[in-house]
Structure 1
Amino acid sequence: MPDSDDRLVRLETRLDTLFEQFDKRMAERFTALDTLFGEFDKRMAERFSAVNSRIDDLQARFTGLETSVNARIGDLQARFTSLEGSVNARFASLETSVNTRLTSLETTVGQRLTAVENRLTTLEGRLDHKASNWLVSFWAAWVTTVIGTATAIIKLWP
């Protein structure tokens, strides 16, 4: 069976050649794949670096915006404090003015009520003095009662 040994040797040689070619191709493919992974890793690192730089820029902008907003809030608080002081002063002045006017009005009303009361008292006295006959006395009593009631109401007026 030399023929079969020869065939086996050729098969073995051919299989060795195929395995060597397979190993060589696999090594080339793994090298190519490793190169692709390296390039992918490099591109991803560049993209992550770009994203990180954008995030840093945004953070710097937000920090600047926060500083600007805080300054504006401080200005608004100062303006509100000033406005509050001005409004309080105006209300105090208005309150003083209204109190003065009300006091003056109360005094004037009191003086006028006293004058009306004095006139009614004078009228009552004149009617009592001039009532000589019974008819005049009768009507004078009623008028005196009305005048006295009006005087009492005026005195009770606050």
Structure 2
Amino acid sequence: MLRDKIKTKNYFIGIKNDGIDWLENLREMRSIVTPNKLNVYYIDLDVTNTELFKACYSLGDSINSIFEYFKEGLHYYSLSYTENDGIFTIIDHLSLAVLFENRKEEFIDDVKVLFDKYVQYSEQDESVQDGYIETLALYLLEDRVENFRSRLEYLNMIGND
């Protein structure tokens, strides 16, 4: 069952096949990646897994295959996350983690690494602080739900006025 109603099945099959091929190439390249290029390598692995996640979801693939791409992408995102990353990508990853919460034991260590880095960077720079990120992470890490005030929520309230 194709979930996307705009693009064709062949489009997503092409994206998936290209992504799988590129992922294999990236894995083969690991031995030649120098330490100073490792972060870029991790970013490429995250982006490729995220694209495969989206393509497989759009194609209606099994939840297990979709989950594997999510889990691997989250792992590499947690390794590559820096203070220069925007808040939207971390929100995307943590939001998807909440959707897969019934399997969180398989990726919770990566969420912990990611959130620890986020906390460290947000203490140094208030512009990266966002209550929604903290809410998602605390829900995943501690099963705790708190009310939040995020920049996104504030912008949405302004938009309504």
For the pair shown, the structure with the greater C-alpha radius of gyration is 1
TM-score, length-normalised on structure 1? 0.24
TM-score, length-normalised on structure 2? 0.24
Query: Which of 1 and 2 has higher RCO (CA within 8 Å, sep 6+)?
Result: 2
